Structure 1
Amino acid sequence: MMDKNVKLAEKYDPAEDCALGSIAMDDKMLLRKLDWHILPLMFMTYFLQMIDKISINYANVMGLQDDLAMSGNDFSWLATAFFIAYAVAEVPQGALLQRFPVIKVLGVNVFCWGIILCCSSAAKNFSHMLALRILLGLMEAVIAPSLTMYTSMWYVRAESTPRYGFWYCGLGAGQLVGGLISFAAQQAPVNMSFGGWRIMFVVIGVVNILVSLLVIFFLPNTPDEAKFLSDSEKRRIAQRLTEDQAGVGVKVFRLRSVLEAFGDLQTWLLVLLTILITFPSSVITTFSAILIKDFGYTSEESALLNMPSGVVSGAALISAAFSIANIIGPQTFQAKDAPRYIPAKITIVAANAAAIIVSTALRIVYGKRNSTADRLGTPARSRVETRLAEKRTVHDVHDDENFRYVY
């Protein structure tokens, strides 16, 4: 079935309407309206997935290991199991995004995050918590692809990039607020049977459930279904996406596109770069609170001192490589190396150094490709040919078919 967004795009025929500005519309006003209606909840979902992820970090300094009778590298395996599940679930979650409305798939998953977090408060041993972290990893795999796809359904490419950055800032905000939640939960009386990290999991879980309901019932599936947009605004969105040649929410799997990506050197350089960049961040996500506590601070102080790192957090991640790095990262911290963890620290420094080398290699590859394109020149096409190409691109976006791709 053709996507509703594509149907909307067909209302604007670029082959027949050759005047780019034929639909009179204040684009800045339109963008502001879109930003106010959809970006806050997108930010909140990314913010919550970060809090969900690092909640285990704060729970560690709040007595989780003692309460669940964990030993050795059990805690490292809680983190690793989460990201193994995260990586495994990328394909089935992607299939769901292709089959069902993107925002509904996201909303249901966020609801499941909340249920799992609430259940985590009742864990009695390591096995219980391990199973729940695996389930959470399976459900959180949807976050990056769903938000990326949803953003591209509303904004042209040049506008999408800063919007990606906006909702990605939820990562740093999650770490910042997570420290406050942990600190507040630790103020509960120590003699409470249900206190500390268990209260923290319940609070975070309930917030997830509330936000999921807003996502499901407030965010429209497509621009065509947005009640806050007029018909002229909907047509303008379709026109802008068509002119951008980025596609309009097309949900079609093409093996040719996959093979092209796997045969491109930049794909593998980006995967390697993301692993190297994310490798140290996985350690911060899982072990930062306990490392701070080892300097002699109390659990409450560790939670608060872990907050500043959230302010400066921010790095674009590729989902598969993100998962690989996070699977490997926690395993560098072995119980036998405590309390200084020298081998793990050396590994982190080496990974960052290697990331610099790979980034330089990518810059060289991109420079050569752009130089080659400039040398070959850009073929001239008539206005009608360009318009027809734009109309085709709405339905089938493919790099090697596009007019000119600049890195």
Structure 2
Amino acid sequence: MLVYLLGYLDRTNLGNARLMGLTTDILGGDASGQLYAWVNSAFYFAYIFFQFPGTILGKKFPQNWWLGLAATGWGFCCAIQATAFNFGGIFVCRFGVGVFESMFSPNMSLYFTFFYTRHEIGKRIGTWFACASVAGAFGGLIAFGVQHIHATTGIANWRLLFLIEGLPAVLAGLACIYILPDRPETTKYLTEEERALAIVRMNRGGSKETAGTINTSHLWMAARDWKIYLYGVIYFGVNVALSALGAFLPTIISDLGYTAARAQLFTVPPYVVGAAVLIITNFIGDHLQTRGIPMILSSLAGGTGYLLLILVQENIRVRYFATFLITASTYTTIGISISWFPYNMGSESKRAAGIPIFQAIGQCGSILGSNLYPNADAPKYIKGFGVSCAFNYLVSFIALGLTLYFRYENARRDREYGKIDRNAAVDTSKEADHVSTII
């Protein structure tokens, strides 16, 4: 959780730096906002291209080393953004942050499945992913503080911000190598009795694979699974909103009439509420063993938030309330998706391939979201709000379709094969989820 919080700080601090003068200092003022949009997109270019090999290769190495190296790398790249003096420099640094973060987040979705069963995964991933929202809150507070120490340092505010938020990730990454456990069957943290229990848990509803191996037939199986591409469309839609939150929420709130410093502070409450809603929703989802219905409701709430921003132009309180709906919806939907989708892939290798496929499609939405809010559209941002609204409603529609399909398919398999113990060990080494139970 600590590492992910630091990672999200480093991923989203560009929006805070923008209000501190980054565009004026090294982007020539960027009157159109296009250079800033390209810098923000650099992270997602790298994330898209490198997360598939980053997840597949991650399965070949000890998890503590792989995840620790990723955190150390992105922290370093974030910190050296403080030395950038032109568009090319900041673009390359942001690209580097994306390369190393692509080695971490998709792998974490797989890593959790090594330790937690499908009945436990929602609340664990929900609590872990809530750190993304908490990072948004901390980012606003840190940015507010940094803006008030400029006079005593002589260093530009935004450069200090990158150093303060980048260097801790380097230290946390090095700590991961020594503290974080590897897979249950190889980690030194467990006794033999604990290890045997952990392996039994790994085989509930499936079968574990040997550490450091990849089932290549399951990689191709993931590439041919139409459901993974629908997951990608959902992830695409919600990432349109997510990228805009980190990069443009401070600016949007500033356009409501607040000063830059106060706008940093006013970004905090929506993120705090978003984290709380995400955790509560995932706990309920685990208890009821449902993911689709909470996703439908959260996406509808997000679409309504964007609709309010479009239709209500004068009432600042209503518009600010809409940011709460959007933030809670965005983080909740993503938190549900990364606990729902992996467990509908019936083997480790299929997850290792399927997770980066749907997340790569989703990060294309981040690039779109990064380019939906040009300065010329301020303060109404009709295009950005309208596109994001449409994608939220699309996500709810697809989630409804997947929920109905999964329930129909489970009922069909129950009729054909008989009801089975969902915690029983199932041999998924050949057919993966083609013969195992779907959540």
TM-score (normalised: structure 2) = 0.75
Higher alpha-carbon deviation: 222-231 or 302-311: 222-231
Write the distance in 2 (CA, Å) between the matches of 1:326 and 1:163.
25
Question: Which whole-Å deviations, capped at 9, do the CAs of 1:36-90 have from their partners, x for residues lacking one?
Answer: xxxxxxx112111111111101001111111112412111111112101110011
**Where does the alignment leave 5 or more consecutive residues of structure 2 unmatched?**
275-330, 338-357
Counterparts of residues 90-105 of structure 1 (less than 5 Å): 90-105=51-66
Write the distance in 2 (CA, Å) between the matches of 1:377 and 1:112.
49
Write the distance in 2 (CA, Å) between the matches of 1:380 and 1:66.
63
Native 8 Å contact 2:61 2:212 kept in 1? no
Name 1:67's counterpart in structure 2: 25
C-alpha spacing 1:204/1:249, structure 2 compared with 1 (3 Å): farther
Tell me which amino acid in the other structure corresponds to 1:332: L
CA drift at 1:97: 0.4
CA drift at 1:370: 2.3
**Where does the alignment leave 5 or more consecutive residues of structure 1 unmatched?**
1-42
Tell me which amino acid in the other structure corresponds to 2:376: K
Write the distance in 1 (CA, Å) between the matches of 2:137 and 2:122.
23
Higher alpha-carbon deviation: 325-334 or 356-365: 356-365
Name 2:416's counterpart in structure 1: 376
C-alpha spacing 1:239/1:371, structure 2 compared with 1 (3 Å): closer
C-alpha spacing 1:205/1:245, structure 2 compared with 1 (3 Å): same
Name 2:181's counterpart in structure 1: 220
Native 8 Å contact 1:103 1:146 kept in 2? no
Name 1:349's counterpart in structure 2: 389
Native 8 Å contact 2:232 2:361 kept in 1? yes
Higher relative contact order (CA 8 A, sep 6+): 1
CA drift at 1:225: 5.0
CA drift at 1:246: 4.1
Name 1:118's counterpart in structure 2: 79
- Runs of 4+ aligned residues of structure 1 deviating over 6 Å after TM superposition are none
Counterparts of residues 5-404 of structure 1 (less than 5 Å): 43-68=1-26, 69-71=28-30, 72=32, 73-190=34-151, 192-248=153-209, 250-311=211-272, 312=274, 313-314=331-332, 315-316=334-335, 317=337, 318-378=358-418, 390=426, 392-393=427-428, 398-402=432-436
SS in structure 1 at match of 2:257: coil
Write the distance in 1 (CA, Å) between the matches of 2:237 and 2:128.
23
C-alpha spacing 1:249/1:339, structure 2 compared with 1 (3 Å): farther
Tell me which amino acid in the other structure corresponds to 2:17: A
Higher alpha-carbon deviation: 83-92 or 367-376: 367-376
SS in structure 1 at match of 2:371: helix
Write the distance in 1 (CA, Å) between the matches of 2:66 and 2:222.
26
Query: May I ask how many residue pairs the two structures share in their alignment?
Result: 356
Native 8 Å contact 1:61 1:293 kept in 2? no
Write the distance in 1 (CA, Å) between the matches of 2:166 and 2:106.
22
C-alpha spacing 1:380/1:292, structure 2 compared with 1 (3 Å): closer
C-alpha spacing 1:226/1:74, structure 2 compared with 1 (3 Å): same
Higher alpha-carbon deviation: 59-68 or 181-190: 181-190
Tell me which amino acid in the other structure corresponds to 2:252: L
Name 1:6's counterpart in structure 2: none
Write the distance in 2 (CA, Å) between the matches of 1:370 and 1:50.
37
Write the distance in 2 (CA, Å) between the matches of 1:85 and 1:119.
17
SS in structure 2 at match of 1:99: coil
Name 1:406's counterpart in structure 2: 438
Native 8 Å contact 1:54 1:285 kept in 2? yes
Tell me which amino acid in the other structure corresponds to 1:344: G
Native 8 Å contact 1:115 1:205 kept in 2? yes
CA drift at 1:239: 2.6
Native 8 Å contact 1:70 1:125 kept in 2? no
TM-score (normalised: structure 1) = 0.80
Write the distance in 1 (CA, Å) between the matches of 2:420 and 2:159.
65
CA drift at 1:337: 2.3
Native 8 Å contact 1:48 1:208 kept in 2? yes
Native 8 Å contact 2:247 2:370 kept in 1? yes
Native 8 Å contact 2:235 2:362 kept in 1? yes
Tell me which amino acid in the other structure corresponds to 1:114: G
Identity percentage over the alignment? Answer: 24
SS in structure 2 at match of 1:222: coil
CA drift at 1:231: 2.4
CA drift at 1:187: 0.8
Write the distance in 1 (CA, Å) between the matches of 2:51 and 2:150.
41
C-alpha spacing 1:398/1:250, structure 2 compared with 1 (3 Å): farther
Higher alpha-carbon deviation: 277-286 or 366-375: 366-375
CA drift at 1:135: 0.9
Write the distance in 1 (CA, Å) between the matches of 2:88 and 2:38.
11
